[in-house]
Chain A
Amino acid sequence: MKTVEMERNPKILAFLCNWCSYAGADLAGIGRMQYPPNIRVVRVPCSGRVNPYFIIKALQRGWDGVLVSGCHPGDCHYISGNLVARRRFAVLKDLLEYLGIEPGRVNFSWVSAAEGEKFANVVNDVVDKVKALGPAERLVKV
């Protein structure tokens, strides 16, 4: 049951690749950079590990937003995981938006281990976007 309080505080599931984005998030923490507490992080070895099922399942379970973040192209610890994922995410995002899932629910970024500040900014922006969209309803199974 979403109370009014919860409605103003979206819940965002963030898949962060271990080698770049997760480290970047860690750096943000070490540097005491402020970003909203609305994300819940799932550490994955590579953005290529992120199965579209995860994103769709998250939307079904009522997560208000999803963020997937990985290494910059060319810097993937597994050489090309993020490159394969890039095509996959492109198709998924276009398909979900065509169906009518609001743009801004599903987000992608490249954040390196040195980009603590970028991570904080990304989270800030994603939370703002999702807050403006309101609680997720489409695809949610109650």
Chain B
Amino acid sequence: MGNVENSMREIAQELLSEGKVDVIVGYGQGTLPLRTTPCFINKAEDVPKLVWNASCDANLSRYLVGREDKVGVVAKGCDARAILVCTVEKQILRENVVIIGVPCPGVIDKKKVEAKLDGKEALDAIIEDEEIKVKGEEFEYVLPIEDFTCDSCLTCRHRNPPIYDVLVGEKAPEAPDADEFAEVSSLESRSAEERWAHFEEELSKCIRCYACRNVCPLCYCKECFVDQTMPAWFGKTNRLSDTMIYHIVRAFHVAGRCVDCGACSRACPMDINLRQLVKKTEKIVRERFNYEAGISLEEVPPLGEFKMQDAQEFIR
């Protein structure tokens, strides 16, 4: 990790000093253990602020849409896929972005660490040699990273960015056969009543903060459907009907576009398992249209095209 961090800084330094980019968007040290924070660097002397470790979990491509300057962005596999989707949707100009691709074996899920600590506060954490050494008042744990990795990373099939201008570090081994839809399949096997009860319970925790929407790189609409007022389609109250509809429609809107970076679930302050819902849309699009988002610049968004022979078993 240390080498990758240094290489990343060198590359950033070069890009800035040669004027190839106006700003570097990367990860900086956070103010809490196991946290990093989005970092915007436009001066070469600030480059040392960039870090790279297993808590670099944000999807930084979220900051690219709508920019007019030239940006160098640090991108993991999922982040690069998101950039690809936004490029295909003509929201990002490819020539304005220098993708600093980073192979990523997975990021830490701080909620899993918090669960392990069971109410105790982590005061310091070091990530080293596939282990998280976390210390607090009167305790010290050494946790194997693989047990505290984000669920989205455990079944990730794109550890290496499918698109990049420069790659930092060694390519990570891929796991192309990972069963990424296991959780969804398990829910599918339950009855409609059980699923409804499950999602009602899960989504009743929602406080409508829109952290999920705002950290998502694909949610770039200038006016979100939930903010439309003339007419107002759906309510902004936290009543279950309004809340469930917000999540259903958001899932529908990212159908065929979501790259399962997991940022939405990580951002949720109420620990709602949002991936369970959104991942289903990925499965629908994969099975019906044989499509996976964010793999190639030549792809056509599935809901933006059609084939005469599309399945219509559900239409009488």
Contacts and interface: CB of A to CB of B under 8 A. Distances in A.
Interface in B145-194: 184, 187-188, 192-194
Interface stretch (A4-12, A31-39, A91-99): A91-99
A43 interface: no
A89 B244 CA distance: 19
A90 B277 CA distance: 16
Interface string A101-142: 111000111100000000000100100000000000011110
A56 B248 contact: yes
Contacts of A53: 225, 233-234, 249
A139 B200 CA distance: 10
Interface in B279-313: 280-281, 284-285, 288-289, 302-303, 305-306, 308, 310-312
Interface stretch (B9-17, B126-134, B235-243, B260-268): B235-243
B141 interface: no
Nearest to A56: B245
B112 to A, nearest CB: 25
B234 A102 contact: no
A57 B241 CA distance: 10
Q: For chain B, what secondary structure do more than half of its interface residues adopt (helix, strand, loop), or is it mixed?
A: helix
Contacts of B252: 52, 91-92, 95
Interface residues of B, number: 45
Contact of B312 (A86, A100, A141): A86
Nearest to B277: A99
Contacts of A87: 288-289, 302-303, 305-306, 310
Contact of A83 (B245, B288, B306): B306
Given A90-B314, A141-B241, A95 B234 contact: no
Nearest to A88: B303
Q: For chain A, what secondary structure do more than half of its interface residues adopt (helix, strand, loop), or is it mixed?
A: helix
Contacts of A109: 315-316
B199 interface: yes
B196 interface: yes
Contacts, number: 111
B306 A84 contact: yes
B69 to A, nearest CB: 35
B248 A57 contact: no
Nearest to B281: A95
B8 to A, nearest CB: 38
Given A83-B310, A98-B280, A99-B195, A52 B233 contact: no
Contacts of A100: 192-200
B314 A93 contact: yes
B249 A90 contact: no
Contact of A99 (B199, B305, B315): B199
A19 B269 CA distance: 49
Given A80-B306, A86-B315, A139-B241, 10 more contacts: A53-B225, A53-B249, A56-B249, A73-B312, A84-B305, A90-B314, A91-B252, A91-B284, A100-B192, A100-B200
22 contacts: A52-B252, A53-B234, A56-B249, A83-B308, A87-B305, A87-B310, A89-B314, A90-B284, A91-B256, A91-B285, A94-B288, A99-B195, A99-B277, A100-B195, A100-B196, A100-B199, A108-B315, A109-B315, A110-B312, A110-B315, A122-B316, A141-B239
A-B CB proximity, top 7 nearest = A100-B196, A141-B241, A100-B195, A83-B306, A109-B316, A108-B315, A94-B284
Interface of A: 52-53, 56-57, 60, 73-74, 80, 83-84, 86-103, 107-110, 122, 125, 138-141
